[in-house]
Amino acid sequence: LGELYTNFLGDVGPAVRPTSVKIAITKQFGIRVITLLWLSYFNDTAE
């Protein structure tokens, strides 16, 4: 994950701050996790 993160930062360039990139990645990852949790909860409740 660290290597991927470094490659991503390298492609973006120095114009973008690492903090904003980290926030963007965290938001994307967070949305995925929340969706998975919600789906698993919904499936458990449906049964």
What is the rounded CA–CA span in Å between residue 8 and residue 38? 29
Query: What is this structure's pTM?
Result: 0.40
Give the pLDDT confidence score for residue 23 in this predicted structure: 82
DSSP string for 1-47: -HHHHHHHHHHH-TTS-HHHHHHHHHHHHHHHHHHHHHHHHHHHHH-
Mean pLDDT in runs of 10 for the chain (47 residues)? 60 62 82 88 77
What is the rounded CA–CA span in Å between residue 36 and residue 18? 27
